[in-house]
Structure 1
């Protein structure tokens, strides 16, 4: 074969026959081939029915979970003002879009919900001088933490969970199909060995 050429591919008209060969009657088709074809069809239909259900159930459960988490965070986290202890690092490209999105961790001083003075590290805009004030959130333990989850975050995480559930369904179906195929193949080999054990003595008698 010429190195620049590729192996011949089946013509497009033959692809449906290759995909559906287990359904066609022919002398080489085994009973297990037909069983495997029915398994494939059943799993395909199951995936079509299960994907929407899995997305809804997983998404609904995730939404409820994240909503409870957001409410708990809103009830236990406290917004306060912090003062920078020292200057924040300057961005290499001041005024750029990247600079507006960049945050640097800087030591800050703040008061917790019990009005106790604390220090911690908060992410702030580049170039802020010492003494500047920034808004921070503290948890029930008085330490700095992220703000409570908002509606956009809840929706984003819910959609991520629903999408993961939708992708998991065909993966599980593919694993089941592969396992079933291996079981059928082992059964075919066992039957072949049994048939050969009965045929071999007669075959040797003709030699």
Structure 2
């Protein structure tokens, strides 16, 4: 709005300098870029991130399997940790030695994180494994992927706004420096005679 009002105010003003009008045009151009280009940048970045993340979701869903494991024993000194991929952050996990059967029927055993507060031998829990029956994190869900894509788009739009505003400030700073340099030159020319009676007569 300041750019538009600035252009209107300087339109027929007799004190208008070329640099004043140029600064107003630069501000208006930056405003138009922010209103038109940055939403496009955000939509493009968000759409690209959405495509990549949803592809990752499909690949993880296809390559990871939910199996039921049985606690053999709790590992001594194992502490409770929050699963970093759990959105609520309330599911606590304990490291245990467990056995599980892979989708191909092979039996496996190893140290895993169990979603149990006080695991007892023989207690059952679910866990995710990869194609080789190795424990892996749960696959990314589509809703979380979509949220990340929206955040990526929003962040890209904010970066674009910052870039446009930074360029605008740099251009205006250069204009102001050039104006001050011209003023200094004008004062240097007028300086020796400034304030003398009868100057120019």
TM range (shorter): 0.7 to 0.9
Per-residue CA shift, 1:98-123, capped at 9, x if unaligned?
A: xx933123224244757363423315
Query: RMSD in angstroms over aligned alpha carbons?
Result: 3.4
8 Å Cα contact 1:51/1:169 also seen in 2:
yes
| Cα deviation digits, residues 2-38 of structure 1 (max 9, x gap) | xxxxxxxxxxxxxx89994564244654322221111
Q: Which residue of 1 aligns with 2:74?
A: 86
| TM score, norm. by length of structure 2 | 0.73
- Matching residue within 152, 164, 167 for 1:161: 152
2:98 is matched with: 109
Q: Which residue, 38, 51, 57 being the options, matches 2:25?
A: 38
Query: Closer, same or farther in 2 for the Cα pair 1:17/1:53, shift >3 Å?
Result: closer
How many aligned positions are there?
183
- Quote the Cα distance in structure 1 between the aligned partners of 2:90 and 2:2: 56
Deviation of 1:46 after TM superposition, in Å, equals 1.5
Secondary structure (helix, strand or coil) at the match of 1:24 reads helix
Equivalent residue for 2:57? Answer: 70
Give yes or no for contact 1:74–1:148 (8 Å, CA) kept in 2. Answer: yes
Match of 1:189 in 2: 180
Residue 177 of structure 1: aligned partner: 168
Partner of 2:9: 24
SS of equivalent residue, structure 1 residue 41: helix
Paired residues of 1:51 and 1:166 also in contact (CA < 8 A):
yes
Shift of 1:61: 0.5
Runs of 5+ consecutive residues of structure 2 not aligned to the other structure:
81-88
Q: State the TM-score, normalizing by the size of structure 1.
A: 0.71
Q: What stretches of structure 1 of length at least 5 have no aligned partner?
A: 1-15, 91-99
Q: CA deviation at 1:71?
A: 2.4
